[in-house]
Amino acid sequence: MKKFITAILIVLTMLLTVSCSDSDVPEGMQLVDGSDEQGYYFYAPEEWVISNLDDVKSAYASRVNVTSVSFAKVDPNVGNTENLPTEEYFFTKYFENSLSEFTIEPTVTVMNEECLFGKEGEEADRAVKYVYNFSYSEPAHKFGFMQILLKKNNDYYIFTYSSLLEEKSEGTTYYDFYLEKTEQVMTNFRFVDKTGQSGGTTDTQDGFVLISDKKIAGFELYVPGTFKPDYSSAIVSATHADGSNINMSEATGTGASVSDYYNNRKNELSEIVGEITEIEVEKRIELPDTDYAFSFEYKFSYNQKVFHVYQVVIRHGFSGYVFTYTATEDNYNLHINEVKEVLNKIVY
């Protein structure tokens, strides 16, 4: 359960946009994931970013304010030590048991509320809503979560919306600002009769593990086995036990230069973190199957810790990508050599 309701960490990459040509996609939306074989169709606003990792299907509005929606099929009996009937346990105890995974107890504002989920005529058989907030650290950033536990036929799922509960504009938090869009995601979601089964990938490359879906992300990212895919937010990302993180995304084709991309990102980041110290900026590096790649190395302070970042902006054909490695200063050198191997294993 941890991967569905852990606190969302700030991630250090750029925004992208992915579109879908499916004629059944509602106006203003894009297909995140789904098919008749899977038994559902999950749509998100067309300007949001898709990031699907194995069984967790996600889209996010912004990495800066970490607003995202995700959907995952789950085992409904995880933690069912009382051997309660599956549906009874899932809708009444599953969420409650998951709260024990938080180091600081969340504040629950909506508990076990029956609701509707899905397009009329194609909705879930049952949907139960939970709403809570959580302060991640000191000094704290406060996050709001809405999770809806779902049943369709004999399958069980969790839908999650998360965003900052900090003020976006006068009287409006990020959570409230994106709530209307999230409600559109919920009302456009479609459950359909399954026509077959589909499975995930377990591909590896020289001991490195694949964590991205090339059809959606535009690339295959292979990470060391010590880095585990991070399902807590809608990003192609993997995290080590010591907190070091690797993530990658496709950048929007705005026509901006590499320098402009970096400066825009630095300005966004400076709104959240302490002083940014540049170590090396726009260094040309050689990577396989790329038109060009430039690396940026810098440090910043956050929550009384110093973080060290190695970021690479990559051009391949008509697409641009941003790769980011982030670690505390103490852990940075432990993984940087493996991280550079990761860059050489990317398949576009």
Tokens of 217: 């992300």
Rounded-to-integer distance, Cα 105 and Cα 162, Å: 17
Residues in Cβ contact with 226 at an 8 Å cutoff, skipping those fewer than 6 apart = 240, 241
Residue-level pLDDT at 139: 55
Two domains, one topology: 29-191 and 204-344:
yes
Largest CA-CA distance found in the chain, in angstroms, rounded: 59
Residue with tokens 């940026």: 296
Can you give the pLDDT at residue 169?
Answer: 78
Enter the tokens of residue 187. 């009302």
User: Is the previous residue joined to 139 through a cis bond, with omega within 30 degrees of 0?
Assistant: yes
Other CB atoms within 10 A of residue 98 CB: 20
3-state secondary structure of 163: strand
Q: What is the pLDDT of residue 203?
A: 64
| Calpha distance 227→332 (Å, rounded) | 14
For the chain, the domains span 29-191, 204-344
What CATH superfamily classification does 29-191 receive?
Mog1/PsbP, alpha/beta/alpha sandwich (3.40.1000.10)
Blockwise average pLDDT, block size 10, the chain, 348 residues: 33 31 76 89 92 78 80 88 90 88 84 95 95 74 91 92 86 91 96 61 71 78 87 73 90 70 84 89 94 94 91 90 94 95 93
Which pLDDT value is given to residue 198? Answer: 35
CB 119 within 8 A of CB 190: yes
**Which pLDDT score is estimated for 8?**
29
Q: Is residue 321 within 8 Å of 293, Cβ to Cβ? A: no
pLDDT for residue 269: 85
What CATH class has 204-344?
alpha beta
